[in-house]
Amino acid sequence: MDLKQLEAFVYVVKLNSFSKAADTIYLSQPTISAHISSLEKELGTQLLVRSTKEVYPTKVGVEFFSYAQNMLALRDQAIQSVSGLGRNCRGEISVLSSSVPAQYLLPEIVTAFRRRYPNIIIRVHQSNSSLVCAKLGSCYYDFGIVGTKIQGNKFIQEPFYDDTLVFVYPADLDMNEAIIRKNLADFIRSQPFIMRETGSGTLQELDRYLKKHDLSLDDLQPACYMDSTQGVMQAVSSGMGISFLSKAATALYVQMGLVKTIEVDHQFFLRRFYLLLKKDMVLSPVQKLFVDFIAQYYYGTNKQV
């Protein structure tokens, strides 16, 4: 077993393709196939299921993947320790994020990160918080980002951004904000409500707030269900109804005069976003650069870089 074989296996799994893996690590497709075959022969087991349309890891392949990735990370750490690559590091990072950070936080963070490390490519994939947690255990993503605290100890959860949740309503809704605040529960129940889909971290936080006030999601009047924050904002700004969103997602629409927001119970609605890391993961130098950068971006000094 050698590192070239491990590298071929890891990239085939991550990219679901022999040809894409070959292009990425600058080897021919027959060489990639030979590396995988040699690895499977040495281990005495099948690591990949191959068909004319797709390639994916077997159950054993999934288990072996994390070990292979960790061994490659250790190799990269050793190389960096003697070469001091730093800013010239090359590589790729895959992030699976819930909708708010994917749409409103990561574009700014990735832009700043790329200014400092221009040879590192970030791939951002979007899902909801529940699916982020479910999918992060697969071989395809390096990190997850969610807007709610995850129960259990499956992942290391690093907070990196504090937001607050607000009620948002159309700017042309003819109601006085003071009156809305005074009768917020009645206001919420009386208005058409644009809902996020099941599994959304925002929906979980809304449910928590309603229970605090002896209400439930069943007390709302759903106008429609949206699987993205952007869709909710478009619906609210068009006058369909009201909703409950991260303040970060509403800022531009408020500036444009399309919606208005109401902040209530700031401490209760403090929303923290977390970077999720697999517990057994050995960080490559490229991955460590990203983890350190995002941890300091809002809480430290990187935002000014």
Do 147 and 273 form a contact (C-beta atoms < 8 A)? Answer: yes
Q: Is 203's pLDDT higher than 90?
A: no
pTM for the structure as a whole: 0.69
pLDDT digits (tens, 9 = 90+) for 158-194: 999 998 889 999 999 877 778 888 888 888 889 999 9
Q: What is the pLDDT of residue 178?
A: 82
Do 141 and 97 form a contact (C-beta atoms < 8 A)? Answer: no
Q: What is the pLDDT of residue 29?
A: 92
Residue 52 CB-density burial (10 A; 0-12 exposed, 13-18 middle, 19+ buried): exposed
pLDDT digits (tens, 9 = 90+) for 51-105: 878 898 998 998 899 889 889 888 887 776 666 556 677 889 999 999 889 999 9
Angular region, 199: left φ>0, alpha ψ -120 to 50, beta rest: left
Closest alpha carbon to 143 in 9, 293, 299:
293
pLDDT digits (tens, 9 = 90+) for 98-128: 988 999 999 999 999 999 999 999 999 999 8
pLDDT digits (tens, 9 = 90+) for 246-305: 898 999 999 999 999 988 776 667 888 999 998 888 888 899 999 999 998 987 644 533
Ordered by where they begin, the domains of the chain are 3-83 (1.10.10.10), 87-161+272-304 (3.40.190.10), 163-270 (3.40.190.10)
Q: What's the whole-number average pLDDT of the chain?
A: 87
Q: Is 14's pLDDT higher than 70?
A: yes
